[in-house]
């Protein structure tokens, strides 16, 4: 074995040298392992013939090498192809070697096992597709950026939202763009992206903000947004992830709930007014009716002074009923507050309102201001 063959033998990669007829000339130890033959030092030994036979048995490989040699013309020129050997995948490079003195053209063939890398790439691609499918299934919009706030990914919900507000770009067009520029049409987002650089990317804190968007159909939408740091190994921040959710319906329902609660409070106050009016009017009517019946039955037997007192009482209570009805006609706003002790008329409920457009301090139905 000459010096060149000795050097090739110790190469740390699978490497063989073939002559112009693609016959094995020399091989590295890694090449022997690649083809499953025990290393031999002499071309005349039995293992050498076994390696030659093993190489010749790889007919697809020999055909690919032969096709490469036809494309190569000059010393140092190289051709590459991929060769699959069962479950293993190799990147193969064929290079034209300087011819040895008195010998035909020689070719060096180097093998790089890409099986593990290919499996890794395949698993990573599968994980990427799974992540994208997961993100696309979320009802919330998701935007992922790098440390320079350039978009690296976006789910379908967010691209649909941007389309609805007049930015119908596809994901390939969006990826790589500056996120602050992409959302520049929304004033609320400008400050949020400024804070993202300091609060999220530098300090590792999440921020929240709300935004208003007008769709191309004229409808107005409210969205709640949260921007959080995107971390990788060793808790290193490599970007930001923004999640936005349409809260238009939630805010509408919350407003309806507040209106319903206000109406319930007003209804409760009205119930209090009705109770008070019933108490006020019934007490007055009872007094009027009682005095009238007594006068009718005992007119002749009743002294003039007593009749006058009873008639005054009837007039006073009738006036009170008239005052209650007058105040009802000018009622603007009501609320039930509490009951008062009234020596003359009993327990009356205090009702606050705005008569004739001016708010009184504390008027009472059937009573004086307190």
The domain boundary, picked from 223, 246, 269, lies at 246
Residue 370 lies in a domain: no
Residues 97-148: tens digit of each pLDDT: 987 766 678 999 999 999 998 888 888 888 888 888 888 888 899 999 999 9
Do residues 231 and 292 both lie within one domain? no
Q: What is the CATH number of the domain that holds 311?
A: 1.10.287
**DSSP assignment, residue 14?**
-
Shared domain for 258 and 212, answered yes or no, is no
The chain-wide mean pLDDT, for the chain, equals 81
Of the residues 113, 147, 174, the one at which a domain ends: 113
Q: State the residue range of the domain holding 290.
A: 252-357
Cα–Cα distance measured from residue 101 to residue 165, given in angstroms and rounded to the nearest whole number: 75
Same domain flag for 180 and 238 = yes
pLDDT in tens, 302-339: 778 877 887 788 888 778 777 777 776 666 555 544 44
d(CA 150, CA 291): 90
Asked if 175 contacts 181 with a C-beta cutoff of 8 angstroms, the reply is no
**Number of separate domains in the chain:** 3
Q: 141 and 236: one domain? A: yes
Q: Model's pTM, two decimal places?
A: 0.52
Residues 232 and 276 reside in one and the same domain: no
Question: What's residue 50's pLDDT?
Answer: 85
Of 113, 136, 162, the domain-final residue: 113
Dihedral of the alpha carbons of 84, 85, 87, 88, in degrees to the nearest 10: -70
Confidence of residue 255 (pLDDT cuts 50, 70, 90): confident
Domain containing residue 238: CATH number: 3.30.450.20
Q: Is residue 210 part of a domain?
A: yes
Integer Cα distance of 341 and 139 in angstroms: 60
pLDDT digits (tens, 9 = 90+) for 168-220: 888 889 999 999 999 998 988 988 999 999 999 999 999 999 999 999 999 99
Q: What was the pLDDT predicted at 334?
A: 53
In a domain, 129, yes or no: yes
């Amino acid at each position: 074995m000459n010096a060149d063959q000795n050097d090739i033998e110790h190469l740390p990669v699978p490497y063989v040298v073939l002559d112009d007829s693609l016959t094995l000339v020399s091989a590295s130890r890694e090449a022997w392992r690649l083809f499953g033959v025990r290393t031999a030092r002499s071309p005349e030994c039995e293992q050498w013939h076994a390696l030659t036979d093993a190489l010749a048995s790889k007919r697809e490989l020999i055909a690919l090498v032969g096709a490469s040699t036809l494309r190569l013309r000059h010393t140092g020129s190289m051709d590459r192809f991929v060769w699959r050997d069962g479950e293993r995948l190799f990147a193969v490079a064929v290079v034209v070697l300087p011819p040895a003195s008195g010998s035909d053209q020689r070719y060096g063939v180097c093998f790089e096992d890409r099986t593990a890398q290919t499996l890794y790439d395949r698993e990573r691609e599968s994980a990427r597709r799974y992540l994208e499918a997961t993100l696309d299934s979320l009802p919330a919009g998701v935007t992922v950026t790098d440390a320079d706030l350039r978009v690296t990914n976006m789910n379908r919900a967010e691209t649909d939202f941007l389309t609805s507000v007049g930015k119908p770009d596809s994901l390939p067009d969006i990826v790589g763009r500056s996120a602050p520029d992409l959302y520049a049409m929304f004033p609320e987002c400008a400050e949020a992206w400024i804070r993202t650089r300091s609060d999220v990317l530098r300090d590792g804190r999440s921020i929240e903000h709300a935004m208003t968007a007008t769709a191309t159909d004229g409808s107005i939408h409210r969205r709640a947004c949260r921007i959080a740091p995107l971390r990788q190994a060793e808790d290193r921040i490599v970007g930001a992830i923004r999640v936005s959710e349409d809260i238009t319906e939630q805010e509408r329902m919350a407003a309806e709930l507040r209106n319903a609660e206000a109406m319930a409070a007003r209804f409760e106050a009205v119930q209090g007014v009705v109770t008070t009016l019933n108490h006020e009017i019934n007490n007055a009517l009872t007094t009027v009716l009682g005095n009238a019946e007594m006068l009718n039955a005992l007119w002749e037997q009743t002294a003039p002074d007593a009749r006058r007192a009873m008639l005054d009482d009837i007039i006073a209570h009738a006036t009170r009923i008239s005052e209650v009805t007058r105040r009802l006609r000018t009622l603007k706003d009501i609320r039930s507050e509490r009951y008062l002790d009234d020596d003359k008329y009993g327990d009356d409920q205090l009702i606050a309102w705005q008569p004739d457009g001016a708010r009184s301090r504390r008027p009472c139905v059937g009573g004086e201001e307190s």
